[in-house]
Amino acid sequence: MKITRVETPPTDLSIYESWDGPGSEDIEDKLTPDHVRDVVEIFQTPLTGHYNWDYSSADGRIRKLYRLGKELNWNADMDVDWSQNFPKDQVPLDQAFNPFNGWPTFEQMPEQERLRFGWHNLAWTLAQFMHGEQGALLVASQLASCAPSYDAKLYAASQTFDEARHVEVFTRYLQEKVGIFYPVNPNLKSLLDKILSDPRWDLKFIGMQIIIEGLALAAFNTLKMTAQDPLLKEIIHLVIRDEARHVTFGVNYLEDFVETLSEEEKEERAHFAFEACVVMRERLVSTEVFREFGWDEDEAREHVLASTIMEQFRNLLFTRIVPNLKRIGLLTDSVRPKFEELGILQFENLVNDGDIDWAELSKPLYGEAS
């Protein structure tokens, strides 16, 4: 095993197979020495851990979520039908939701290039999910150490395994079914750096469980609607089941804790949550794909931001986050105008994840995935 240490994430995309055909179904046949080297970036964190010597369960909600996590575990090797192959000569996402429809730069591309763009756009989207899931894996492992209560430690440990499974399943789909690996988006990376390196355990909860996981959950539901590949729909269905528990855990645990903070501490966390939302909003722009296709990045970015479809999509992603921020007490008077300026304060009174829908979370794992 060769470990290469870097100061910043790689910026080059990786190609696992030729676009001339699907290649071997065995991923080992596609790997080169460059693919199998470990590229690592060191981060430092002044993590403050907590022992908990009271092993009694103080919060029935969190313990019940932990039990559901155990009951609804799934195995990416055995419970996903990897024999399914979606044709590479078909666009992988519903083109009715393509923000570049009608844009001259896109429309003037040859049909084969538009097809290639569709696959690259999917690859970029799934890669950001994969990178975000690795961040969630690292944060959940931190929370198992630094969360103060016994129930939270148990749940964080179970979530760590969930996140490992998510990294695994997205990585395998990208390697075996798409063949393209995009690097982490700088906006997502900056937020992960902040969450991982901050010593405050509750800020990790806010950044990961409320912002990143909340946005991912909404994005997964959208992808489940627009994906054309039944295998990808199957994967997303399983991941959504896990993510719904994670967000519910964050809201329920933080709701009680935030009440114990001083007003100054609440304001600090409220402003962090807002800034995290701004960063994640930029994370939705696939600049790296624009660069790969030689587009003017600023022009393409402006087109995306002005697109009605993308505006609706961005707003949809925050329909989960804003109500949850209000529920836990972080939609304070000082940040409300900022959220209104982003155009997402309108979602504050939608359904939040504080009131647990046990019937929904407890549904059998292998229900309808489409």
Domains of the chain, with CATH numbers? 3-361 (1.10.620.20)
Instruction: Considering only CA atoms, give the Rg of the chain.
Output: 21
Average pLDDT over residues 82-94: 96
The Cα 73–Cα 296 span in angstroms is 44
CA-based max dimension of the chain: 66
As given in the structure block, the two tokens for residue 317 are 């992603």
Contact of 166 with 119, CB cutoff 8 Å: no
At 121-173, the pLDDT tens digits run 999 999 999 999 999 999 999 999 999 999 999 999 999 999 999 999 999 99
pLDDT tier for residue 60 given thresholds of 50, 70 and 90: confident
Distance CA 338, CA 20 (A): 49
- Residue-level pLDDT at 34: 58
**Looking at this protein, which amino acid is placed at residue 336?**
R
Which residues, in sequence order, are bridge partners of residue 93? 227
Residue 48: phi, psi to the nearest 5?
Answer: -105, 115
**Whole-angstrom Cα distance, residue 167 to residue 164?**
5
Q: What local confidence, expressed as pLDDT, does residue 368 receive? A: 53
pLDDT for residue 350 is more than 80: yes
User: Any idea which residue has 């155009």 for tokens?
Assistant: 343
Q: How many alpha carbons lie under 13 Å from residue 199 in its C-beta half-sphere?
A: 4
pLDDT of residue 283: 74
- How far is residue 227 from each of residues 95, 235, 297, 333, measured CA to CA in Å? 10, 11, 25, 39
Q: Dihedral angle at the C-alpha atoms of 156, 162, 165, 170, nearest 10 degrees?
A: -110
pLDDT digits (tens, 9 = 90+) for 7-20: 888 888 888 764 44
- The predicted structure's pLDDT at residue 28: 56
Distance CA(21)–CA(19), nearest Å, equals: 5
Question: Nearest to residue 230, comparing CAs of 115, 128, 92, 114?
Answer: 92
- Residue 183's CB is within 10 A of a number of other CB atoms, namely 18
At residue 5, the 3 state secondary structure works out as strand
Its pTM surpasses 0.85: yes
